[in-house]
Each structure stands twice: as C-alpha cells, then as structure tokens.
A = this chain, B = another copy of it.
Amino acid sequence: DYYYDSYSHFNIHEDMLKDKVRTKAYMKSILDNKNLFEGKIVLDIGCGTGILSIFAAKAGAKHVYGVDNANIILHAKAIVKNNNLADKITLIQGKMEEVELPVEKVDIIISEWMGYFLLYESMLDCVLDARDKYLASDGLMFPNKATMFISSFCNDEIYNQRFDFWDKVYGVDMSCMKQWVYKEPLVDQADRGTINGDFVKLIEFDLETVKKTDLDFVAEYTLKIRRDDYVQGVIIWWDVYFNYCKIPIKLSTSPFASETHWKQTMFFIENEDIPVIKGDTLSGKVAVKKCTKNPRDLDIKIQFKLENREIDFDKSFVYKMN
C-alpha cells in the first residue's frame, strides 16, 4: 500500500542511477578510497535507493546511516537486506532536519544534494545543517567543494525555437508571451560550438565551512570573447570535487565534459543579441537569492556589460527559476 506513493519516484531514481557520470563519480570516490572509509561512521543524506550507503558499506565503513523522506526508502530497505548489508546500514525515513540519529557524531557525510544551477531545489541547506549538528571536528564531506562557472553563448536554433516561435503560432500572434519566456532560464545541454567566450569561475563553495547565508550571493565575472559572433546570453554550470580521494575526483556538468542529467543553465538577453569581436570583454554581476515568498524558487539578476568600437552595452535582467 505504501509503495504506491513512491511510484513516481521510480523514474526519478532510475534516471539518476542511469546518469553514469554522476553515479560513477560517487562510486569511484568511495570504492577506490577504502582507506578513508574503513571503520568509519558514515551519514548518507537523501539516500534514495541506498546506492551510496551500500558503496560506503562495501568500502569498509563501520556503520552507515541513510536518511530519506520519500517512500523510496522502503525499497532501499529491501535492497539493503537482499545485499546482506542489513547489519551495516540503518535506514531512517524522515526529513533530515527532523530525524534523530542514534549516534552523536559521524566521520563522513556523503550526499548527492546538487540541483539544476547547483542550487535550485537542492538539499544543500539541509546538508549544511546536518554538517553543523553531526560531523566530527575532523570529519570529511563527500563532495567537499563546489564551483560554478560562467561563459557566453550564441545558439540561433534554440533562440528561434524558444522565442521567435511565438511570433506566429498557426497564424496567431502570441508574441506577447516572449517577455515572460525571457525570464525563464533554459536548462539544456549546450553544444560546445555554441560557447563563444572563455569560461571563468563565478563562485566557489567550500562545503566544510560555507554557511547557509552564503548561498544567497552576488558574484562578479569578466570573460574574453573567443570569436567574432553574437552574444545571446550567459551559460552557467558547476563542478563538485572529492579532494580527499587519492586521485582527486571531479563530477563536472561542463558542456565540454560528458552530458549529465543536470545539463547547463542558459540565461538569455531580452530582445537583443550583442555583436562581439574576438577579444572583447564581457563582464557583470550575478545575484542569486531565494525568493522571499517561496524559498524553493530562486530569484536571479544578471548584468551584461560590453564595450567595443561600436557598442556600449550595459543592461541587467531578472530571471526566476521555479
């Protein structure tokens, strides 16, 4: 009976498991680094099917606590049992914020908490709270660092499909929709060839010290344009790092790496593209904050500044992820 509620979760978890880049990064960072896990107490936040807890148990952890709020954890329990790890792994259903672990401190926190645009619908707040409450003073975070990157792009095909489409829809003028569509960032896998600027670091989070309040941020960027082209907007992606590993491991969602289910996030300049010349500099500020009315949404403001012989462009636009 319980199970039926978790139906909808099959597909989500199946898709996440089938994202090889994602799952293998965690697998390698755990299974290839048994020395870090042997005899340790591990907390897996948002354990889903239990896959990371099982990796940790196989890596020699003394005990693993997996916490998840969704009914998928009922399946996780069956899976743990069938893999003969019931004595090594304790699964607890509930919100991480609300459950009480049977231990005071843990040595390692593993969690796959990242959302689109790193922060959208992410569990990071809840991971940081758990870190402050449970992680031993010499404890380790897996991953331990996250970095966001920014570059510029031009993709006429997407632009036509996404904006010009509304100009004539089966003979009907729906162009008034466009102004609203601009406000919506596009989550999609960018073809490398559409990136026309260098990519630069936007912001870095040290997951062992970052505070929840740091997650609303303003960051500056400055990047060089790589070819004569047009800039239609900026594209943002992230990497997370497992630096305690013998061979440091990076889980990257870059358009220059293999595709993941997170893809990248594109922010279009409203109604315009900026003609650019190789060597031009694009710069500006990116401000991200949780929406006050609905903290699950993100309010994002991006400034685009570019000067060259012919152009003196400096505008800001607001976007909402919801």
Residues in A lying within 8 Å of B, measured CB to CB: 3-4, 7-8, 10, 14, 17-18, 23-24, 27, 49, 51, 54-55, 58, 75, 78-79, 82-83, 165, 169-177, 180-181, 183-184, 320, 322
Say whether A3 contacts B79, CB under 8 Å: no
Say whether B10 contacts A169, CB under 8 Å: no
CA distance A181 to B183 in the complex (A): 38
Residues of chain B with a CB closer than 8 A to A320's CB: 4, 7
Say whether B322 contacts A7, CB under 8 Å: yes
Distance from A50 Cβ to chain B, minimum over Cβ atoms (Å)? 8
Say whether B75 contacts A176, CB under 8 Å: yes
Say whether B322 contacts A170, CB under 8 Å: no
A173: which of B10, B55, B82, B180 is its contact (CB, 8 Å)? B82
Distance from A86 Cβ to chain B, minimum over Cβ atoms (Å)? 13
Say whether A10 contacts B184, CB under 8 Å: yes
Say whether A169 contacts B8, CB under 8 Å: no
Residues of chain B with a CB closer than 8 A to A49's CB: 169, 174, 177
Known contacts A176-B78, A177-B10; A23/B170 CB under 8 A: yes
6 contacts between A and B (CB under 8 A): A7-B180, A7-B320, A49-B169, A75-B180, A79-B172, A82-B176
Say whether B51 contacts A172, CB under 8 Å: yes
Cβ-closest chain B residue relative to A181: B10
Cβ-closest chain B residue relative to A75: B177
Known contacts A10-B180, A170-B27; A175/B82 CB under 8 A: yes
